[in-house]
Amino acid sequence: MKDFRSVADAVAAEIAAGRLREGERLPPQREFARRHAIADSTAARVYRELARRGLTVGQVGRGTFVREAPGAPAPAPALSEPADSRVDLELNHPVVPEQAGLLAAGLEKLVRSGHLESVLRPVGAAGTPAAREAAADLLTRGRWRPDPERILFAGNGRQALSAAVAALTRPGARLGVEEFTYPVLKSIAARLGVTLVPLAIDEDGLVPEAVEEAHRADPLHAVYVQPVLHNPLSLTMPARRLDHLADVLLTSGISAVEDAVWAFLRDDLPPLASRAAERTVLVDSLSKRLSPGLSLGFAVAPEAMAGRVAGALRSGGWTPMRFPLEAMVRWQADGAVATLVRAKQREAGARQEIAQRHLGDFRTRGAPSSYYRWWELPSPWRADTFVAAAARHGIAVTPAAAFSAGRPRGPQAVRLGLASPTREVLSRALATLADLARSAPDEFAGE
């Protein structure tokens, strides 16, 4: 039987010799196993070992690719022929080198535990007592730790968000949102027949007076808010703003859906739910902390709302599988979650430094702990034209209009997701975009 390390050594030698080139896609694991006459499980270990050595990178839905080496040739000028490969700065999935090894260890323990049959059985939205306790530890921020009995589970974060909105609104309801908001929330509201009411934001995030004013004009059923590392602007509400917003919610009787998916990057900050617990459903997910392929959603609901949120999870078919719950329990217990959170916090800072190095001459914003960069484009560039020009060079970016909850067209800006490419690919892509922004749109149009 071949040892997975010897197979990995052979692939590494192919890469070193240039027979496997940077950016080249490796075959699917089952095909790789057949070619090398090894078991599928051994092929999986080979791929994990190559990733651990930094030789390959996995892209969800696309496969495993030979990683670009540091010091690779600089890219062609911005206004050149279309690129052969796509750099995704739209989706944002933080990945760090130690990720696969840490998660594999927990999964191996789970499979070898002798309880595999039990963890493959169905489970409801309430999960298990062990899962609720582990989730409470995982979601702890600052001095706030949620009551484990108030935690519900969904298949992923988007499902938890959908259930929370469905539980707090009804068709025709008015849902207040920040004037720039998460695009998926816009889709959820449209599907549920909910009207979005854009609310003003400033440098401290959502303006509480805007909530009061909108509620007086025509009552709001709920508000959706991202208090920490707002997507796309990377804003974080200071304590005084959170206190003010909590007072408005409690006084007016408005409920809130608090999106905390990126808040693990600032886990020193207690959430809005710690200030207005009886009016707030907090939603979060596992995938950003751990890996994009590991989906599990959380909803921390006050007692008065828990039944409605659980009912929405069941009726939507959004209850979780038991396996990720059990895996989460082990990853939390063995320290894998904490280790990856710290690594991803450091990685965010490194990627923001890369963005600052290439885009420092432009009007951009991005918190040091965020994986986003908001870029107000130089005149005469329009967002839609810039997105098209970037796509011609194999780089996908998101126009501001995708986040706008009010105006049909947003400002002439784009959001850059810094998490998904390797640092080297990110650096080259941002250099290309900077060169593009310094050129004239009519040059692009004339190609």
Cβ atoms of 38 and 78 within 8 Å: the answer is no
Closest CA to 430 of 388, 375, 378: 375
User: What gap in Å lies between CA 102 and CA 331, rounded to an integer?
Assistant: 8
Pairing assessment for the beta strands 201-202 and 205-206 based on DSSP bridges: antiparallel
Q: State residue 99's pLDDT score.
A: 87
Element counts in the chain: helices (H) and strands (E): 16, 17
First to last CA, the chain: 56
Q: State residue 379's pLDDT score.
A: 93
User: What gap in Å lies between CA 50 and CA 123, rounded to an integer?
Assistant: 35
- Note down pLDDT in tens along the chain; length 447 residues: 567 888 888 888 888 777 787 778 899 998 898 888 898 889 888 888 888 777 887 765 667 888 755 444 333 333 333 444 589 999 898 989 888 888 888 887 777 766 677 777 789 999 999 999 999 999 999 999 999 999 999 999 999 999 999 999 999 999 999 999 999 999 999 999 999 999 999 999 999 999 999 999 999 999 999 999 999 999 999 999 999 999 999 999 999 999 999 999 999 999 999 999 999 999 999 999 998 888 999 999 999 999 999 999 999 999 999 999 999 999 999 999 999 999 999 999 999 999 999 999 999 999 999 999 999 999 999 998 999 999 989 999 999 999 999 766 668 999 999 999 999 999 999 999 999 999 988 655 444
Q: State residue 75's pLDDT score.
A: 38
User: What gap in Å lies between CA 14 and CA 392, rounded to an integer?
Assistant: 31
Beta-carbon contacts of 112 under 8 Å, excluding residues fewer than 6 positions away, are none
> Counting beta carbons within 10 angstroms of the beta carbon of residue 88, is it exposed (0 to 12), middle (13 to 18) or buried (19 or more)?
buried
Question: Cis before residue 380, ω within 30 degrees of 0?
Answer: yes
User: What gap in Å lies between CA 218 and CA 144, rounded to an integer?
Assistant: 34
Residue entry with tokens 């929405």: 312
Identify each DSSP E strand in 346-391 by its residue range: 363-365, 372-376
User: What gap in Å lies between CA 287 and CA 274, rounded to an integer?
Assistant: 23
Closest CA to 321 of 283, 301, 294: 294
Q: State residue 74's pLDDT score.
A: 38
Give the rounded distance of the alpha carbon of 286 from its chain centre.
9
Residue 93 φ then ψ, to 5°: -125, 100
User: What gap in Å lies between CA 94 and CA 23, rounded to an integer?
Assistant: 19
Give the rounded distance of the alpha carbon of 388 from its chain centre.
24
User: What gap in Å lies between CA 407 and CA 386, rounded to an integer?
Assistant: 19
User: What gap in Å lies between CA 152 and CA 248, rounded to an integer?
Assistant: 26
User: What gap in Å lies between CA 271 and CA 273, rounded to an integer?
Assistant: 5
Task: Tell me the two tokens of residue 108.
Answer: 């191996």
Residue entry with tokens 């600089």: 74
Residue entry with tokens 């911005």: 78
Q: Which amino acid is at 446?
A: G
